[in-house]
Structure 1
C-alpha cells in the first residue's frame, strides 16, 4: 500500500496508537524523544562508512535503512499531528526561507557550506 499523504499516514498511525491505548504516551516530548532514538538507529547503518560506501549499501541494509526512515517519518508526522502543524506547509515555508537566506549566486563559485556564508544571519 502506498500513499502520498502525510495526513493519511498520521491518521493511520494515530488509529494504531488508539487501538492499543497508547495515546497516554503520545506527548510531543515523548514523541520527540522516540524520534531521536530512531534517528540514532538510522545513523548506525552509516557509521564508519566512507562517503562513497554510504551510496553503495547492499539491498538488505537498504531495507533496514528504509525501515528506520519510515520510523522517523511516522514520529515526525505524529509530533506535527499532536501539535496541529501542517508538516508539508512548514517544510515549504522553510525551503522559501532557505532560498532567501542562501541565494544561488552566492554559491556558484567554489565549494561553500551554508555555515560559511557571509550573510547567513541576514534573514
Structure 2
C-alpha cells in the first residue's frame, strides 16, 4: 500500500506550490472545502455507473485517473487541515478511538448498520 507518509514534507511541498503562485488568498477554508467536495465528486464519477462486477477491471483501466483524483482530494484535505491548524495524525487517532466505542467488534463485525442501529 503506502510507505510511511511524511505529512510535514508533503504539506510543505503543497504550500510552496501555492505560495509560488500567490494563491493563499484564495485558499479560505470555505473555498478549500468546496474544492475538496468537487474533487471527491470527480472520483465518484469514475465509478458512477459501474456494476459491482466491473469494479476490479475499472480500477485497473482507470488507475491513473483514480490516482490523480485521490491526490487532489488529499492535497485539499492537507490544505484545509493546515489552515485550521489541525494535526491530521492526532485527529485520525482520536476519531478511530471514538469509532471503536461507537462500533464495538462484538456488535459491528460483518454488519453495515450505523452505530445507532446496533
Which residue is equivalent to 1:73? 74
CA distance 1:88–1:59, change in 2 (3 Å): same
Which residue is equivalent to 1:46? 47
The whole-number CA distance in structure 2 between the counterparts of 1:30 and 1:70 is: 18
The whole-number CA distance in structure 2 between the counterparts of 1:102 and 1:63 is: 34
Structure (1 or 2) with the greater helix fraction: 2
C-alpha contact 1:32 1:75 (8 A) present in aligned 2: yes
Which residue is equivalent to 2:21? 20
Long gaps (5+) in structure 1: none
TM-score with structure 1 setting the length: 0.84
The whole-number CA distance in structure 1 between the counterparts of 2:59 and 2:86 is: 36
The whole-number CA distance in structure 1 between the counterparts of 2:4 and 2:101 is: 31
Which residue is equivalent to 2:117? 118
RMSD of aligned Cα (Å): 1.9
1:93-104 aligned at under 5 Å gives the runs 93-104=94-105
TM-score with structure 2 setting the length: 0.88
The whole-number CA distance in structure 2 between the counterparts of 1:100 and 1:26 is: 35
